Amino acid sequence: MAALRLDDYQKQAIRSDQSGKAEAGMDLAVLGLVGETGSLLSETKKKQRDSRSYVGYEVSVLEEMGDALWYLATIAHHAGLRLSEIVQGGAGEGETVFVQLQPQSALPLDVPTVAFERTLLRLAGAVGRLAEDSSQGRGSAIGGISSRLSQVFDLLVEAANEAGVTLEDAARQNLRKTEDRWPSARILPPLFDEAFPEEERLPRHLSVDIFERTGGNGKQYVVQRCNGVFIGDRLTDNIMAPDDYRFHDAFHYAYAAVLGWSPVTRALFRLKRKSEARVDEGQDGARSILIEEGVATYVFGEAKHLDFFADRGPGQLGFTFLKSVRQFVRGYEVDACPLWLWEEAILAGNQAFRFLRQKRRGRLHLDLIERRLTVEDLT
């Protein structure tokens, strides 16, 4: 693998910058750097407090350093500086590579060392001075901000040395992370059941009618119909204060259409992949159905407080929220789907849900070829 240049990393990193342009973008990036420095300190505190019960410390340190590096590269970009220009003693001309900064091999960090803690505190101080300059409008002076960024960068390298990680590893992981969320090209992954017999595949095109009815006791419920045949059970909200959760199957159909994954839909249409026992049990079984219901419930709970994402578009759902959603399906095939595709599925499901909630009925069209879910009036 070729050594990664600082400026090449910066070019790839800023492609995912969602903070805007010029001074406003710089201010947001500075706030982000403050936050990531605080996160590094927080990880250290948790490791000290919880010791062996806190797992994932090393992974978290690498990720937080990558995020701090991303904000540093973004601030430099908004200031009109190349990342290589803020490195003390850099080779210049964009030739500086990460390995020049840390020629030693990385060592595992089992516990936070005293030196690491002190360097993080110095790093926090340097970032604080950078933030103060930005708040006072002194961030536009190239010479001044270059000096501040150099101090921060040097301390980040020092902290990485003491943590036993390399900034190149942190940078590469950060690029994979941003590509997962904001890809350079939106290439759809293959459908999970492509190699299975046709009778075990999710239909590539499917239309489902969903509508509300009122029972003799005045209780409202939702039923579904496909090709004139009623499917599934009557659905109610199952909560003390009604919230229209009975229309939530729109989420499952969105997962099926956009992600190509929905154990719930497979069970509903009896499309389990029984030709392979391990897949039938491990990917389409009862546990996976519960997992998907958990995802739908979590997404519904979050969306409920945000008008079911009525004012959100692609790229606007929270990164932490999307990571939490995918955390539910760790170990299952859909874990391979990128975060941007999860976002599309969640937005499509909520759009259909809002339609059903308003109209109380609708026809959902699933297109697994185009990875799209649409909804229209049901007369």
Question: What would the pLDDT profile of 19-62 be if each residue is shown by its tens digit?
Answer: 765 556 688 899 999 999 998 888 777 766 655 555 566 788 88
Mean pLDDT computed over every residue of the chain: 90
CA 377 remoteness from chain centre: 32
Reduced to 3 states, what is the DSSP secondary structure of residue 366? strand
Q: Which residue has the higher pLDDT, 38 or 164?
A: 38
Exposed/middle/buried for residue 92 (C-beta within 10 Å: 0-12, 13-18, 19+)? exposed
DSSP calls for 282-342: HTTSHHHHHHHHHHHHHHHHHHHTTGGGTT--TT-S-HHHHHHHHHHTTTSGGGGS-HHHH
Backbone angles phi, psi at 25, to 5 degrees: -65, -40
Reduced to 3 states, what is the DSSP secondary structure of residue 102? coil
Tokens of 62: 């690498």
Question: What would the pLDDT profile of 105-160 be if each residue is shown by its tens digit?
Answer: 555 555 556 788 889 999 999 999 999 988 777 655 556 788 999 999 999 999 88
Region 190-206 average pLDDT: 98
Angle at 179 between CA 330 and CA 17, to 5 degrees: 125
Say yes or no to pLDDT of 177 above 90.
yes
Alpha carbons 134 and 343: distance in angstroms, whole number: 33
Q: Domains in the chain, ordered, with CATH?
A: 6-181 (1.10.4010.10), 198-376 (no CATH)
Say yes or no to pLDDT of 89 above 60.
no
Say yes or no to pLDDT of 301 above 70.
yes
Question: Secondary structure of 103-148 in the HEC alphabet?
Answer: CCCCCCCCCCCHHHHHHHHHHHHHHHHHHHHHHCCHHHCHHHHHHH
Q: Is there a contact between 314 and 343 (Cβ–Cβ < 8 Å)?
A: yes
Least confident piece of the model among 73-77, 136-140, 264-268: 136-140
